[in-house]
Structure 1
Amino acid sequence: MEKEEAIARIVKVFQQYGYEGATLTRLSKATGLGKASLYHHFPKGKEEMAAAVLNSLNHCLEQSILAPLRGSGEPRERIRLMSIKVDEFYNCGQQSCLLAVLAIGESHNLFHTQIGCALNLWIDTLAQVLIEAGFNSDAARQKAEDAILQIQGSLVLARGLNDTAPFKRVIKRLPEYLLNP
C-alpha cells in the first residue's frame, strides 16, 4: 500500500476517535497494515501519522475551500461556491472536522501551531473576499471568524445530536450572513 492511500485511511480513524483514541490497533486495522509496516511508513509513530493527516487536510482545505475563495468572479459568487464546497467537504455535516478533533486533548499541544495556521488561513482568505465586497478589514475579519465559528459549531452540534440539520441551516444561510452589513 502506498503511503498516500494509508494516510487517506488513517484520516478516518483520527476523525472518528481523535488522537488519543487512534490506537495502533485501530490504525493497523483501517489500513490493513501490520504495526511494523505502519512504522515503516511512519517511523515516529502516531505523532508522525497525525502530522501527515494534518498535511493532507491542509492540502484538501486549500483545493476544496480556499481555491474557490481565491478564484475570479464576484465576491458573492465566490462565497456561495465556498459554502457549496464546505458542504461537500464535511459530507453535508456528517463528517467531523479533523482540525476540531485534533485541537482537543493531548494532540492540542502537539499540533496547536499547525491547526492555528490552517484556521487563520481560512479566516484570512475569507476576510479578503469580504474586504473586496466592501467591508472594512476589522468587520471582514470578525465576519470571517464568526462564519468559521458557525461552521465548526454546527459540526459539533450535528455530531452530538446525530442530526445534520444545524449544519445544513448554517451552510444555507452563510452567504447571506457574510454579505449583509
Structure 2
Amino acid sequence: MPAALLSREEVVGRLLGVFRQQGYDGASLAALSEATGLGRSSLYHYFPGGKDDMVNAVLDAVEAWLKDVGLAPLREPGTPEERLRAMLRTLDGFYEGGRLACALGALSLGSAKERLQPRLRQIMGLWMTELARVLEEAGLKPAMARERAEDALVEVQGALVLSSGMGDAAPFKRAMKRLPETLLRDAAPPPRRAQKPG
C-alpha cells in the first residue's frame, strides 16, 4: 500500500516491527523511513517529536493491544487454567510462535532505557497484575501469585530471547506449553460442582 494511504495505526504497526527487531538505538531514521515508506519530513508530520514520539506511539499500541487483546482471555469465563492457556495462545500468535522479538524487551536496553522505563514498568506491571489476579483466583496466596506472575514474564521474555538468538522457535514453544502447569503448581483445585440428584 502506498505510504500516503497508510493510516496512522498502520504506520505505528510498521514502526513496531523496526523497534522490536532493532531496539531504540538501532532504529535509525533511515530504517524507520524505509519500513513505513515515509520520508523524514512525513515521519515528522506524523510524529513531531521525532523518534521519541514514534517509540511512545509504539508503546501506546503495545499497551492497548495487551489490554484489549492479549490479556482479554484472562477476563473471560472459564477456569484459571483455561484462561491462562487462552492468553498464551494469543501471545503465541502475537509473537508468531516465537519467531518475533518482543518490543518491550528490545526497548528495555540501550540509551533510551531510563526515559522509557516508566512506560515499560507500567505495561509490564499491567501484565503481571492481570496474571496475578487469575492465579489468586486459582487459590495461590497474593505474594506467591505475584511472584509466579513475574516468573511468567521472565519465562516468556527469556524464551523469546533464546529463540531469537538461536534462530529456533522451539524454546518459546516449550515455554508456552509448560507455563500453565508451572504457574498453577500447588494451586487449590477448583471446587467440585454438586451433582444434581437424578
Q: What TM-score, normalized by structure 2, do the two folds share?
A: 0.89
2:151 aligns to what?
Answer: 146
2:79 aligns to what?
Answer: 74
Alpha-carbon offset, residue 63 of structure 1? 2.3
When the two chains are superposed, the root-mean-square deviation of aligned CA atoms in Å is: 0.9
Paired with 2:184 and 2:136, the residues of 1 have a C-alpha distance of 10
In the alignment, which of 161, 167, 170 is matched to residue 156 of structure 1? 161
Number of aligned residue pairs: give it: 181
Letter in 1 for 2:101: S
Structure 1 unmatched runs, 5+: none
1:85 aligns to what?
Answer: 90
1:120 matched to 2:125? The reply is: yes
Alpha-carbon offset, residue 64 of structure 1? 2.5
Moved over 3 A (4+): none
Q: What TM-score, normalized by structure 1, do the two folds share?
A: 0.97
1:25 aligns to what?
Answer: 30
Paired with 1:133 and 1:76, the residues of 2 have a C-alpha distance of 8
Contact 1:64 1:89 in 2 (8 A): no
Deviations 1:79-107 (A, max 9, x none): 11111111111110011110000001112
Structure 2 unmatched runs, 5+: 1-5, 187-198
1:52 aligns to what?
Answer: 57
1:13 matched to 2:29? The reply is: no
Deviations 1:27-76 (A, max 9, x none): 11111111000001100100000000000011111122211112222111
Question: What SS class does the counterpart of residue 48 from structure 2 fall into?
Answer: coil
Paired with 1:63 and 1:8, the residues of 2 have a C-alpha distance of 16
Larger radius of gyration: 2
Paired with 2:168 and 2:69, the residues of 1 have a C-alpha distance of 24
In the alignment, which of 68, 80, 95 is matched to residue 63 of structure 1? 68
Letter in 2 for 1:21: G
1:174 matched to 2:151? The reply is: no
